[in-house]
Every structure is written in C-alpha cells, then in structure tokens.
Chains A and B, each alone.
Chain A
Amino acid sequence: MASQSSNNHSASADWPGRYHHIDHILDTPGPRTDPEFAAGDQVKNFLRKESKILVIGAGGLGCEILANLALTGFKDIHVIDMDTIDISNLNRQFLFRPKDVGQPKATVAAEFIMRRVPGVKVTPYFGKIQDKDDDYYMQFNLVICGLDSVEARRWMNATLVNLVDPDVPDSLKPMIDGGTEGFKGQARVILPTITSCYECSLDMLNKPTAFPICTIANTPRLPEHCVEWASVLEWPRVHGDRKMDTDDPEHIGWLYKVAAARAADFKIEGVTWSLTQGVVKNIIPAIASTNAIIAAACCNEAFKISTSSAAFLNNYFMLIGTDGVYSYTFEHEKRDDCPVCGGQAVDITLNPETTVEQLIETLTERQDLQIKKPSLSTPTKQIYLQAPPQLEKSTRPNLEKKVSELVPAGGEVTVTSSTLPMSLSLRISYST
C-alpha cells in the first residue's frame, strides 16, 4: 500500500489487514452470490475508490449509517441534514457530545467520522434536501435515507424516480430507506421505477391521531385534550400572532401550566411537563438499539448492492421488538396507479351530485394519497386554487358547484398540494 496520491483521503491511509474481515466476503463468492460478482480487486476498487454514496439525515439513523459505511469501506460519503444538535439527541446519536449541542448535525458527524476512520472523506451539507438539484443527485451511486419526516421521504423518492432516464443506466439510483419508532422499525430497498416506491406504500403509515376540536373545547377527557386546548385554542387567544416555539422551555412551561389548570378543573389526571412537550412536538420515542438494527440493515443492503457480493433485500424488512424479536421480510408490490412511479392517472368514481368541496374533503381523507389543502384544475380551467389570495377568491364559488358540471366523464383533474412531491392526475368517472 504505497502512497499513490498526496490526497489525505485516498487509499494510502489503508494499512495491511485493515479490511481483513470484509475481504473474506469480497474475495470469494457464497452460495447465494450473483454470478456477475467480480471477486477480488475489481470489486474492492469500485467500493473503495469509485463509489460515491449519499446519506440523508445525520440523526439517530444517520450517525449509525455513517459509521457503518465508513467501516465497510465506502470512502466518499456525503451527508445532508438541516438540524442542529439538541440535548435529547445524546441518548442515541453517538457521534455527538454535550459540547456539540447547538452545532449542525451534518458537520459534527462528518468531522467525527473522519477523525475516527482514517482515509474516509465525509462531505457535509447543513441544509435542506430541496436546496439541491438533479445534477447534484446524479453524482451518487446510491442514496440511504435515515429520516423522521414523511414529507422529506416523499420528496426524495419522487426526485429519484424522476431522475430515471431509460437511456442512461446510471440515472437509476437505488434508494434505501430506514425508519424507527420505539422498539419498531423498517428498512427497504427501492429501485426507482422498477420496484415499489415510497409513494406506493403510503397507506401503510398509521393515521395520525387527531382530536376533534369540539372535544378539545367542550368535553376533554384525556390529558392530551387539555394540552391541545392550551396549544391550539389558548395560545393564540392569549398571545395573538406571537408564534409558539415548541423548543422554548418557557413556552412549554406556559402550555403545561394552562393545560394542568384545565385538567384540574375537569378532574383529569396525567398532565405533566413531559406529556405536554410530547403532544405539542409530536415526539416519537427513540432508542439507540433500534436505530442500530435498522441502520445496519440499510448499510448491509448498500454494501451488497454496491459489491454484488450477495443477494439483496427484496424489498421490505419490518421489525417489531416489543414482544420477542419479530420480523417480517416481504415484497411490497408496486402500485400501477402510484402517482409517482405508476405513470397512470388515479381513477376516482364520484356521485354526480358531489360538489368540489366534497371532492376536496374526500381527497384529504385518503390515506394512500396524504394530501393537505389541494388545488384542482383541468387542462382548460382552474377549479379551485388555494393560493394566491386573489385566485382563491375568484375560484371559491366553484366549491359549491357539482364536479359533474365542471369535468366531463373520463376527464382529468390535476391536483397540486404543498404535501405532494408531484402533481397528481385524477381520472373522473360518475356513478349512475
């Protein structure tokens, strides 16, 4: 291993025996290895010198993913994260220390990995995935997501599906997605346009709990109802336009006191500081061990795909650790009418009496679409637009009209929404 390059991050940092464990796998095929596997130097060179991998998220999963990739031999790793380090991250995000609180996660994580694993280059970006364009994403061989947001996953998924150009094989970037919640988690492999994509499986997400406003206002029964009353109704009433900051302990303290007083009035038990914070921030429990399992599963797939050293996951691994170790590996099927990768309009059958307003309500309730505040149009006219205000005003009268007056049977309606990573095409038919 002579120094072939002056670059600090080149293979010159390798020492004899460094990859002893991994080389067992890369030097010899196993019984379930693809015949295309180019054992030996070819695959090692690709992994260690050519491969470029992108990690989305430097949080609970991201820290684990970066460490695993670095040890496995990936040497050109990029990481994007828009968050800064909070003290509540330290029970699992093991690249961060108390002195790092307030610093950008991507930067601190990248520096830590480069210090600990010599010769690995990690390039951080402290910002949003939406800041980057197609050219940026084109440079990677593979993308691993360790995100806690559905919206960001939808955006990344749609971006990678749109990147696929059938004439350019390199435009297909495998996306490996992990997610955890308490003792549960999942890891999956998405080959954009080929296998089921993130959007195909939206209906697998749990419906978020929403408390009816009348319960909150009139008949609270649970401590959560009291917290919602404090944050949704009392905060704006007392503070007017002043924005509530769920990271500000004073704001949480105020909400806690108001919620606790209401709970006392209604003889409801269980309002605590921690519960108040959990409800307003929608906190999901998170532990190091579950993140380690899911991140390892994701990185193992990245390693197998990048080296062809073994078959890879087809295509979904789900783990439930609350009762023993239960896991389920299955193939999630591609949806022909998937708005992102299906390339077809979504068929929807309406009663001819259905109004535009009712259609909007139906769309927002559909678990497989997850749309908030949609705007609707046909190729020839605007049906209803949420913004800008003047167009909202001019299209508002349409809300009460029947859809059948505006769209012929078999006609298409284009739906756009800030929660949709793409525009959605609906093909309307009417029941008779």
Chain B
Amino acid sequence: MLIDSKNVEESTTALVTEEAPDNKTRRYDRQLRLWAASGQSALESSRLLVISGTATSTSILKNLVLPGIGHFTILDPRKVTPEDSGNNFFLEGPSSIGKSRAEEAVRLLCELNDGVEGKADLRSLEEVLDNDKEWLTEFSLVIAHNLEGGLLDRLSKLLWEDESHPTLAIVRSSGFLAEFYIQYHEHTGESFICVIESHPETAQSLQIDKPFPALLRDSLALDFENMDVTDHGHIPYVYILVRVLEDWKKAHNGSPPSTYAERQEFKKLILAMRKKSDEENFEEAESQAYRAWTATTVPSEIRDLFSDPKDMKADTNKYIGLQKLYKKRAEEEKQIFKSYLTAPVDDATVDAFVKNAHALKLLRGKRWGSLDEDPKALAELVETSSKQLSTHLALSALTSLATKQQPNAPLTPTVEALTAEAQALLPAGVELPAEFGDAVGEVARAPNADLPNTAALLGGIVAQEVIKMITKQYIPIHGSCIIDLIETWTGILPV
C-alpha cells in the first residue's frame, strides 16, 4: 500500500522543507502529500455557505473544517429539536435542545480547527432569496441538504445565472438512500470547470515513437557493442527502445512493428542485445516495448514534454542526463507555448499550466433540474442506468410531493403517491424500471430520516468532491452520484 513515488516527490517539493516543518505543516502533513501547498492555500481562501444545520450538513462541514477551509457560514433559522440532538454529533445532546441549531453547530465545528472562521446566520433561505440575493453570491461554494423543492429551484436558478456565481452542491437523502449533484458555473454559454492538476495514474508515453532530436542523437551515439558490461547493464531503457525502433524502421520502410508477429520479433531483438541474461534494463525495455508502436497523440505529447521520465534501471549519470534532456526540451516547448499567448500571463501560471498540461481536464456541467425536465433523457436512462435512475426518481418524487403540501406538515407519503409522482416524470408509455420498487419502498419507510451513517457517508463523499472543486486538483464527479446503503453501492447517473 505504498504511495506512488512520483506523487510524493511532486507534492513534497512544493513544500518549504529546508528546516524541520512548523506546527501547521506538521498538522496538515498527511493531506499536503495529496494536494500540496497550492491546494492548501486554495482551501484556506475558500468561503463556504451551508444551508441548514442537519446531521448531513454538519458531517460535510466537519470534513472541510478539519483540512482547513477559510470560512463557513451555516444558514438556519431553526431551533434544535430533541430529534436533531439525537442524531447530530455537532449538537450536545439534551443541553442543545431549544438553542439555535446554526449557532450550536458552528460553535462545536469551530473546536475542530482554530484556523477556520465559522459564522451562524439565523435568517431563512426564503428571506435571503427575497431580500439579499447578492449575499449568496459572495461565497465560493454553496452546499444545500434536503432543501424544499421550491426554494432549491430558486436557489439553483439564481446561482446558474452568472458564471461568477458560486458552485452549488445539492444533497438529498432519505434513510438508506441518497443522491448528490454539483452544479458547476456557467461560462460563455456553457458551464465548465477546469481541473489544472488531475494527478493521472496512466503511464507516460515518453515519445519513443517520435523522439525529439536530442533524444535520437544521444541514443544513436551509444556504442552498444563495445561498451563494457557494467555500462551496458545501465543504459536507460528509453535509449534502447529508441535505438531498436530506429533500426527497425530502417529495415521496414519507416514503419513501426504493427502485427502481432512483428511485435514479438521486435521484443526478441531487444532481448538478443543483452550481454548477460540478467540485464534488467533490457527486460524493462522489453516490457515497455509497446511504447514503440503506441502513437504519441497530442495530449500525451504534451504530457511527455513537461514531465520527467519515471525511474528505470540506469546508472546515475545516464539517468540524470536523460532527465535533463527531457527538462531542456520542456523549457524549449514552454517558450514556444508562451509565444502563442496573446494576453499577458504571469510566469507562475504558465509554469503550472505547462507542468500539468498533460492532465488538464475540461468538464461541462448542467443546471440542476435539467434532467427531470427532460423526459426523453429519463426514458433513455430507464434502459441504460435503471438502478441509479430508480433511486433518483424515488427521491425526486419525494421532493415534489413535499412541495405540494403545507410547509412543515408531517411528510408521510405512500408508495402509491410516490410512484405516481415518479411516473409523471417519464414520457407516456415508458414504464418505471423494475428496481423502482426497492427504492420507493425505502423512501416511504423513512422519508425524512437523516440516519447517522448515511449522513457520515455523505459527509465524506460530498466533502471529497468539494475539496476537488476548490483545489482544482483530481477529477470531480460528472453527473449525479447515487448512493444505496442497503446493498452498499454508489453509481453515477449521467446528466
């Protein structure tokens, strides 16, 4: 269970570590190894709004206060009920009953990290939407749990209006079932999120198939035949592959090995070059031979230019020399990249961009609610994602039933009523998926139940996605995440 050595190196070089680390660095050590100082500073500049102080809301906040977000506000006009104080770890049992839920939760959450600022706001969301909409847009991200349908609709539309408005995380749960969705910002007509450091786990292609001039030159300059045995056993496999491929192409009209038989022959050629049977570098070359016939495409080309080769059997000088070769090439490419820029961009941003160019991700989001307004899309999902869709429909049915009744009236929907609401979302003639019965039965069993374990799991999974959004590292969820804690699975409903 070791961490990827490259990740450690990358994330730790970003830390100031000439001296023994200070207390803050020591406190955050285990997370800095994942998102480095750049991610940490993004977290510390973030301002989050959480709507309502339910068990799920405080569970999410706990996992954001601990790693050190800058600020959070809980918006909640309610007083703590006996029911609240029984299932929320950030209330103090009976002694919290009757006090402001937001104030109690903020007080207890702030104990987790004195570097985080927390505030309670006792207004209702309705009041804010009516009189102080601007206030909502001052946050970097808004999280809403089990919001009433009408208010959720107003909130999600408001935050979708302008690209500068905060991202909205929508969380719904009912007993063992849950769903969450992240509404990304709007941008020039379409919404998008750009992840700068996605930490990909796929291998680099190293441009073996199209070696840049210096790499080809150095590889051809090596005298394999007359080299002494120790040096021969330490030629980095990159040089071996470039060389064997170059020879191969000369003999095959410039084409790389393409058939299975040719590829096997290519591998044999590599092994035939060994001077001793245990030369690991040639074994590495054989195992990496696919690189010779895997065409370097544009994204991986960028990847190769801006990241160093991973470790391979070699002596120090040859490896460091190879590393320098790739670094020099990267520097040259960066200058070319800069010459294309038409607007001034500071050097640090250019560096971060090119360093992670191989891992840039562009995700386009959609407005919350667009799925339920699209019966055709729902009908397709009945065929392709019936299990996930069943849970989504059952939760949507609950939201719409609740909207139809008096505010604060007890919610005790029947399976029949929920089924009718869900059916109404589908086009005429399309039947509900077979799994719908399992989902709707659970929603009818515990429509309002904010179970401690469901809340804790949502707390982790939603916080994880929020961290990815704020740090712009790793790849956030795309679509709606469905959670079933009976059979214990999660799934994505494409939106």
B partners with A: yes
Residue positions of A touching B, CB distance < 8 A: 15-22, 24-25, 28-32, 64, 67-68, 71-72, 87-88, 90-92, 94, 97, 116-118, 150, 179, 181-183, 187, 205-206, 208-209, 218-224, 249, 252-253, 266-270, 272-275, 277-279, 282-297, 299-301, 303-304, 310-313, 317, 319, 321-325, 327, 329
Contact A324 B21 (CB under 8 A): no
User: A15 to B486, Cβ gap below 8 A?
Assistant: no
- The range of chain B's interface size is 35 or more
B449 and A291 within 8 A (CB): no
List B residues 400-450 near A (Cβ within 8 Å): 437-438, 441-442, 445-450
Residue of A nearest to B199 (CB): A322
Check A301–B488 contact: CB distance below 8 A.
Answer: yes
Query: What is the 8 Å Cβ interface bit string for chain B, positions 71-102, against chain A (1 contact, 0 not)?
Result: 00000000001110111110011100100000
**Interchain CB contact (< 8 A) of B437 among A31, A92, A117, A208:** A31
Q: Hey, which chain A residues are within 8 Å of B62, CB to CB? A: 94, 288, 292
Residue contact B464 to A321, C-beta cutoff 8 Å: yes
Q: How far is the CA of A91 from the CA of B68 in the complex (A)?
A: 8
Chain A residue with Cβ nearest B280:
A212
Contact of B17 with A by CB under 8 A: yes
Surface stretch bound by A, among B29-37, B143-151, B206-214, B371-379? B29-37
Q: Which residues of A contact B449 (CB under 8 A)?
A: 21-22, 24-25
- For residue B12, CB closer than 8 A to chain A, the reply is yes
The reply to whether A325 and B492 contact each other, CB–CB distance below 8 Å, is yes
Inter-chain contacts of A311 with B (CB < 8 A): 486-487
Interface centre among A17, A249, A287 (most CB of B within 10 A): A287
Contact (Cβ within 8 A) B89 A71: yes
Q: Which residues of B contact A (CB under 8 A)?
A: 1-3, 5, 8-9, 12-13, 15, 17-21, 23, 25-34, 55, 59, 62-63, 66-68, 81-83, 85-89, 92-94, 97, 111-112, 175-176, 198-199, 201, 234, 311-312, 314-316, 319-320, 437-438, 441-442, 445-457, 459-461, 463-465, 467, 474-479, 481, 485-492
> Is A222 a contact partner of B5 (Cβ separation < 8 A)?
yes
**Least Cβ distance of B440 to chain A in Å?**
8
Contact B488 A317, beta carbon cutoff 8 Å: yes
Question: Bound complex: CA of A278 vs CA of B13, how far in Å?
Answer: 12
Asked if residues B311 and A222 are in contact (CB atoms below 8 Å), the reply is: yes
**Nearest CB of chain A from residue B26's CB, rounded to whole Å:** 5
Contact in complex: A224, B5 (CB < 8 Å): yes
Choice from B1, B94, B441 contacting A15 with Cβ under 8 Å: B94
Write out the residue numbers on chain B whose beta carbons fall within 8 Å of the beta carbon of A220. 316
Output the nearest chain A residue to B315 by Cβ-Cβ distance. A219
- Minimum distance in angstroms from B434 CB to a CB of chain A: 12
Given contacts A183-B464, A273-B17, contact A292 B478 (CB under 8 A): no
> CA A71 – CA B127 in complex, angstroms?
33
The answer on a CB contact under 8 Å between B460 and A18 is no
- A256, B12: Cα distance in complex, Å: 13
CA distance A292 to B112 in the complex (A): 15
Question: A91-B66, A285-B31, A324-B475 in contact; A252/B20 too (CB < 8 A)?
Answer: yes
**B319 with A221: CB separation less than 8 A:** yes
Contacting A293 at CB < 8 Å: which of B55, B319, B457, B476? B457
List the B residue with the shortest CB-CB distance to A86.
B26
Shortest distance from the beta carbon of B260 to any chain A beta carbon, whole Å: 29
Q: Is the CB of B112 within 8 A of A94?
A: yes
Shortest beta-carbon contacts, A-B, top 5: A292-B460, A31-B441, A293-B460, A17-B82, A296-B457
Can you give 7 A-B contacts (C-beta < 8 A)? A15-B86, A91-B30, A273-B15, A273-B18, A311-B487, A321-B464, A321-B474
How far apart sit A206 and B5, CA to CA, in the bound complex (Å)? 14
A283 touches B30 (CB 8 A): yes
Interchain CB contact (< 8 A) of B89 among A28, A67, A249, A272: A67
A249 vs B234: C-alpha distance in the bound complex, in angstroms? 36
Q: Please, which residue of chain A has its CB at the minimum distance from the CB of B28?
A: A91
- Asked, given contacts A17-B83, A183-B464, A321-B464, whether A92 binds B30 with beta carbons under 8 Å apart, the answer is yes
Residues in B whose Cβ lies below 8 Å from that of A297: 453, 457, 485, 488
In the complex, A92→B34 CA distance in Å?
A: 14
Name the one of B17, B28, B488 contacting A329, with C-beta atoms under 8 angstroms.
B488
In angstroms, Cα B349 to Cα A75, docked, is 54
Chain A residues closer than 8 Å to B490, beta-carbon distance: 319, 325, 327
- A277-B30 Cα distance, complex, nearest whole Å: 11
Smallest Cβ-Cβ distance to B314: which chain A residue: A221
B82 nearest CB neighbor, chain A only: A17
Cross-chain contact of B59 among A28, A292, A327 (Cβ < 8 A): A292
Say which residue of B9, B315, B453 sits within 8 Å of A275 (CB atoms): B9
Residue of B66, B86, B175, B476 ringed by the most chain A CB atoms within 10 A: B86
Cβ contact of B5, chosen from A118, A209, A295, cutoff 8 A:
A209
A22→B449 CA distance, assembly (Å):
7
Report the separation of the CA atoms of residues A300 and B93 in the bound assembly, to the nearest whole angstrom.
Answer: 22
A-chain residues with CB within 8 Å of residue B94 when the two chains form the complex: 15, 118
Contact B445 A274 (CB under 8 A): no
Contact of B461 with A293 in the complex, beta carbons under 8 Å? yes
Which residues from B are CB-within-8-Å of A291?
460
CB-nearest residue of chain A to B327: A269
Residues of B within 8 A of A272 (CB): 12-13, 15, 17
Q: A272-B17, A321-B464 are in contact. List 6 more A-B contacts (CB 8 A).
A: A72-B453, A88-B30, A183-B34, A282-B2, A283-B29, A329-B488
Whether the Cβ atoms of B8 and A31 lie closer than 8 Å is no
B485 partner residues in chain A, CB cutoff 8 A: 297, 300
When distances are taken between beta carbons in the complex, the residues of chain A under 8 Å from B175 are 24-25, 30
Task: Specify which chain A residues have a CB less than 8 angstroms from the CB of B460 in the assembled complex.
Answer: 288-294, 296
Q: Flag if A273 contacts B315 (CB, 8 Å).
A: no
A289 and B5 in contact (CB under 8 A), knowing A71-B87, A221-B314, A266-B320? Answer: no
Report yes or no: A24 in contact with B446, Cβ–Cβ below 8 A. Answer: yes
Contact present for B63 and A288 (CB under 8 Å): yes
| One of A24, A223, A319 near B445 (C-beta < 8 A) | A24
Q: If the complex has contacts A117-B93, A293-B461, A301-B488, are A285 and B33 also in contact, measured as CB distance less than 8 A?
A: yes
In the bound complex, how far is the Cα of B474 from the Cα of A22, in angstroms? 35
Known: A25-B175, A272-B17. A278 touches B12 (CB 8 A): yes
A30 x B442 contact (CB < 8 A): yes
Closest to B34 in A: A285
Chain B residues with Cβ below 8 Å from A182 are 3, 33-34
Q: Does B463 contact A268, Cβ atoms closer than 8 Å?
A: no
Q: Nearest chain B CB to A48's CB is how many angstroms away?
A: 12
Chain B hits for A327, CB < 8 A: 489-491
Set of chain A residues within 8 Å of B201, measured between Cβ atoms: 322
Whole-angstrom distance from the CB of A315 to the nearest CB of chain B?
10
Given contacts A21-B83, A21-B87, A322-B474, contact A268 B316 (CB under 8 A): yes
Task: Determine the distance from Cα of A351 to Cα of B201 in the docked complex, in whole angstroms.
Answer: 39
Taking CB atoms, residues of chain B closer than 8 Å to A279 are 8
- Contact residue among A30, A288, A296 (Cβ-Cβ distance under 8 Å from B66): A288
Q: Shortest distance in angstroms between A254's beta carbon and chain B's nearest beta carbon?
A: 11
Q: Inside 8 A of A90's CB, which chain B residues have their CB?
A: 27, 66
Chain A residues near B454 (CB, 8 Å)? Answer: 296, 300
Given contacts A97-B111, A274-B15, A275-B12, contact A219 B234 (CB under 8 A): yes
Instruction: State the CA gap A24–B413 with chains docked (Å).
Output: 13
Q: Are B83 and A20 in contact (CB under 8 A)?
A: yes
Q: Is the CB of B19 within 8 A of A292?
A: no
- CB of B3 within 8 A of CB of A94, answer no
Closest-CB distance, A66 to chain B (whole angstroms): 10
**Which residues on A sit within 8 Å (CB–CB) of B63?**
287-289, 292
User: How far apart are B162's CB and chain A's nearest CB, in angstroms?
Assistant: 26
